[in-house]
Structure 1
Amino acid sequence: MHGLTALDLARIQFGFTVSFHILFPAITIGLACFLAFLEARWLRTQDPVYRTLYQFWIKIFSINFGMGVVSGLVMAYEFGTNWSGFSQFAGGITGPLLTYEVLTAFFLEAGFLGVMLFGWNRVGPGLHFFSTVMVALGTMISSTWILASNSWMHTPAGYAIVAGKVVPTDWLEVIFNPSFPYRLAHMVIAALLSTALFVAASSAWQLLHGRAVPAARKMLSLAMWMVLITAPIQAMVGDAHGLNTLKHQPAKIAALEGHWNTAAKDDKNGFPLIVFGIPDMEREETRYAIEIPRLGSLILTHSLDGQIRGLKDFPKEDRPNATVLFFTFRVMVGLGVAMIAFGLLGWALRRNGALYRSKAFLRLAVAMGPTGLIALLAGWMTTEIGRQPWVVYGLQRTRDAVSAHAAGPVALSLALFVVVYFVCFGVGIRYMLKLASAGPAPDAHPHPHPNDRPSYGPGSVVPAAIAAASAPQAMARHGHRES
């Protein structure tokens, strides 16, 4: 880490920890909604496949939820240790928003999570389903508060600066700041899409290996419908988000497009879309550019002759890193296009009756499994690096937000974070993937005796307890229907 300043190391550390963390909430949001859907279908149809899928995915959900909570706590401490300047300047806004997240979403999830995990055969079916829905709702509320705080840092509103600190003047403007609706929609859809691809990969792997075929077919069917629906919607939301960013953060748009020169007012030729190139920050040009004429104008301004400001129109100290943004943005968009094509391919195979038989498609589904999370990371890198050199856009520069540390201690803590994260979360992710690839256990007893109860000894663990849970809900409804 020779040559890196404390500011550089603090940015790397926060980027590393948040990149690990964001993967877990994304899957948590998607799986919580998926579990609520599965239980609703089970209660309505009494089809044992839905119950089997619920009890299978709740194991993975519980592991993922735990890792998300632990990794999220670390970032809260980093605000105080590495970014005390930011906390002092903007804590009057971000502190209450994060507190609201704890008081609403976290308490809601914690209150009903135990019933959701361990109450399948201990409470009534209505209460258990209500608990699942409340946990899913809690993940959505959590996303709302977190995205409100993050969006305010990009498009601050409803504030005043008093004695060098930000104070709120209108909380509705703070929460519903100009970029908040677009960021919230973009993130929630990304979570649903990433989870659908994960579920599709799991089911495809099981079908390729002949495991749990009825349940795997149902999983693949549900996942592919979700991909087909959400991938195009995500593209439309992303387009609206881009227009909003062009209005409020034009330097970011110029950087990710590799666009340097502002056209003359009477130029009616529009500007091209640079498909590939290497933006050079020193030479102020995009080298080896491969362009499509006017397509940039059509995408960004929805007209063939529209123009945007080039990077040269902004002072050098206010420009984000175009070299990085250019490629992270194209990774996100390229994978998004691939997801749309994947959903359409699945729909075509479904119509031909080959969705579950085509080994080539099943292998493709396995390969597409991580693409949602990769696109999610690329998108967050684009939006956060694009905000630089500001930590609160237009109000506080990142160099003014960092704590007064020497580079050595920050480098040491970063190295420790890397080791601990890869060991601890690596083990958790590996176990989660192992469960996902194994598939649900065969349902040998679809209607257990209503008095059966799992045993919870001191050595029990969450996955084992869930796997051992029986389903007297099915027995109760079965007997009621026969009577």
Structure 2
Amino acid sequence: MEIWSDTVILSRLQFALTSIFHMLWPVITTGLGIYLVIIEGLWLKTRNPDYYYHARFWAKLYVLNFGIGVASGLPMEFEFGTNWAPFSEATGDFFGSILGFEGAMAFMLEAGFLGIMLFGWNRVPPIIHYLATIMVAFGANLSTFWILVANSWMQTPSGGSLVEGKFIVQDYFQAILNPAMIDSVAHMFLATLETSLFVIGGISAWYILGQRGDRLTAFFGQSLKIALATLVVVAPLQVYIGHTSAEQVYQHQPSKLAAIEARWDTVAAGETAPWSMMALPNAKAETNDWELNIPQGLGYILEFKAELSEPVLGLKAFEPQDRPPMIGLIFYCFRIMAGIGFFFVGLMGLTVVQWLRGKLAAAHLGQQTWLLRAWVLAAPLGYVAVETGWTVREVGRQPWIVYGLIRTSDAASPLPASNVLVSLVLFTLVYSVLLVATLYFGSRILREGPNLDLPLPTGDRADLAATPGEFLPDQRPVETQN
């Protein structure tokens, strides 16, 4: 059947478009929110004006991403009712309430305190402003938590059973704490933070490479070091959590694991098997036309030993209609995601070595051309890792929308294909306009750079007395545009 006349395929394409585009923006707001908490905490502790200027500058990028994230995310909520009504009806008792928690609990918290964070520097006491920043970051990450709860339940459904086509919740907390939840939340939390930190580091490196003066070199050298100090923990931990997430797939989603590894034949317990670095899967022939293997590598990847303690089912163990589609896409997306993760660890390690050698001092930082270029290159790679990781997660779950319970083909609304095609085209046009607008305003923010002459907030009298000489006499309490 032609793709353009298949309602299910078109609905899947539309949701893929909206989710891929939307995901670009909250990835930054969740991680950048935490960075703003760190920066403002340093400002309150040290009263170093540079930290205040950092908070004001990076907040501009935060609010830009927040706005586009809201505009692009709302259509996804409506798609569950328009394109996926049978799914919503079948799972609404649990899935719908979780999305409700995300909107009422997390999004409202973030949006409610955002205005104070942006415009309250001279209108509320410093501690209240800092609390607002914390609440914004907490709300953004709470949103991620609830979304990952909902999605992980789709991966490993628990806490109830399907009765006459409707999921009946028997243990709500068991459904929330489904087998994939903890690893999923941790992996995505670290992914958003790691992506944000490399974006901050990449933008900082771009400014330093541009040789815009000693003051800006020192300023962005500072933000690069803060991002680096956080990545010392985040980057290696993300690789470890990525491994535990793979173990979860090994235990609970054998067909997805088979697709990730492009493995057609089952490997019995106690046996060894090679791990394919590259392959050319052939679904029709049920084999790989070409492979580049590491002998006994599969066991070390999954269990850190050569012999497997449990069998690894091959794709042939599943009926053709129960196998994930597009094996090559899943196979290579996983390797791109993992490769970027290890690249981040390597870049972080090399930069730490240069830091210990004193090469990140303001006097020498501009000379580290190769290192700074690597950071600029790394800035977009976090987005690539997140998108490819979600491709593995979602395409690898197919043909199930709720793994093992509800098929995607049974979950789509019976809409005319032409209607879905029109909305898909319109979404593509609107999102293209949003992308161009975001790039334009983002580039404008970067071209203008930080305002290092911005008057400092006065704070309360106790703060002023505690830091004599910190503020100049002519620095009066004025509210400036962010």
- Equivalence for 2:91: 90
- For 2:409, give the aligned amino acid: R
Q: 1:249 to 1:437 in 2, by over 3 A?
A: farther
Query: Would you say 1:16 and 2:2 are equivalent positions?
Result: no
- Equivalence for 2:53: 52
Q: Displacement, 1:300?
A: 1.2
Secondary structure of the 1:244 match is helix
* Structure 2, unpaired ranges of 5+: 470-482
Q: Displacement, 1:474?
A: 8.5
Q: Displacement, 1:308?
A: 1.0
CA distance in structure 1 between the aligned counterparts of 2:315 and 2:303, rounded to whole angstroms: 17
Q: Displacement, 1:434?
A: 3.6
Any idea what the Cα deviations from partners look like across 1:407-445, whole Å, max 9, x if unmatched?
A: 21111111111111011232113322442354312x235
Q: Displacement, 1:475?
A: 7.8
- Equivalence for 1:440: 450
Query: Would you say how many aligned residue pairs link Structure 1 and Structure 2?
Result: 457
Secondary structure of the 1:472 match is coil
Q: Displacement, 1:3?
A: 3.7
Moved more, 157-166 or 213-222: 157-166
- Equivalence for 1:327: 332
CA distance in structure 2 between the aligned counterparts of 1:234 and 1:388, rounded to whole angstroms: 25
**Contact 1:202 1:439 (8 Å CA) reproduced:** no
CA distance in structure 2 between the aligned counterparts of 1:145 and 1:263, rounded to whole angstroms: 36
Q: Displacement, 1:290?
A: 0.5
Any idea what the Cα deviations from partners look like across 1:228-255, whole Å, max 9, x if unmatched?
A: 3211111100111111111110110111
- Equivalence for 1:220: 224
- Equivalence for 1:477: 463
Any idea what the Cα deviations from partners look like across 1:31-74, whole Å, max 9, x if unmatched?
A: 11011111100000000110000000111111111111111111
- Equivalence for 1:138: 139
Q: Displacement, 1:117?
A: 1.0
- Equivalence for 1:229: 233
- Equivalence for 1:374: 384
Question: What is the TM-score when the length of structure 1 is the normalising length?
Answer: 0.91
1:383 to 388, 393, 399: 393
Secondary structure of the 2:25 match is helix
Secondary structure of the 2:344 match is helix
CA distance in structure 1 between the aligned counterparts of 2:298 and 2:446, rounded to whole angstroms: 41
Q: 1:259 to 1:64 in 2, by over 3 A?
A: same
- Equivalence for 1:78: 79
**Contact 1:203 1:439 (8 Å CA) reproduced:** no
**Contact 2:3 2:9 (8 Å CA) reproduced:** no
**Contact 1:250 1:309 (8 Å CA) reproduced:** yes
**Contact 2:162 2:405 (8 Å CA) reproduced:** no
Question: What is the TM-score when the length of structure 2 is the normalising length?
Answer: 0.92
Any idea what the Cα deviations from partners look like across 1:120-163, whole Å, max 9, x if unmatched?
A: 11110010001101111111211111111111111011113333
Secondary structure of the 2:33 match is helix
1:352 to 332, 357, 363: 357
CA distance in structure 2 between the aligned counterparts of 1:475 and 1:31, rounded to whole angstroms: 30
- For 1:249, give the aligned amino acid: Q
- Equivalence for 1:299: 301
- For 1:204, give the aligned amino acid: A
- For 1:346, give the aligned amino acid: T
- Equivalence for 2:291: 289
Moved more, 285-294 or 302-311: 302-311
Q: How does 1:148-159 map to 2 (within 5 A)?
A: 148-159=149-160
Secondary structure of the 1:160 match is strand
**Contact 2:281 2:288 (8 Å CA) reproduced:** yes
Secondary structure of the 1:286 match is strand
Query: Would you say 1:241 and 2:242 are equivalent positions?
Result: no
* Structure 1, unpaired ranges of 5+: 449-469
Query: Would you say 1:414 and 2:415 are equivalent positions?
Result: no
Q: Displacement, 1:225?
A: 2.1
Any idea what the Cα deviations from partners look like across 1:4-42, whole Å, max 9, x if unmatched?
A: 311111111100110011111110001110111111000
The share of aligned pairs that are identical, in percent, is 38
**Contact 1:216 1:439 (8 Å CA) reproduced:** no
Q: Displacement, 1:481?
A: 3.6
**Contact 1:259 1:310 (8 Å CA) reproduced:** yes
Secondary structure of the 2:358 match is coil
CA distance in structure 2 between the aligned counterparts of 1:214 and 1:239, rounded to whole angstroms: 37
Q: CA RMSD in A?
A: 1.7
CA distance in structure 2 between the aligned counterparts of 1:86 and 1:50, rounded to whole angstroms: 48
Q: Displacement, 1:473?
A: 2.5
**Contact 2:125 2:460 (8 Å CA) reproduced:** no
CA distance in structure 1 between the aligned counterparts of 2:176 and 2:377, rounded to whole angstroms: 38
Q: Displacement, 1:480?
A: 4.2
Moved more, 221-230 or 26-35: 221-230
4+ runs deviating over 4 angstroms: none
CA distance in structure 2 between the aligned counterparts of 1:170 and 1:3, rounded to whole angstroms: 40
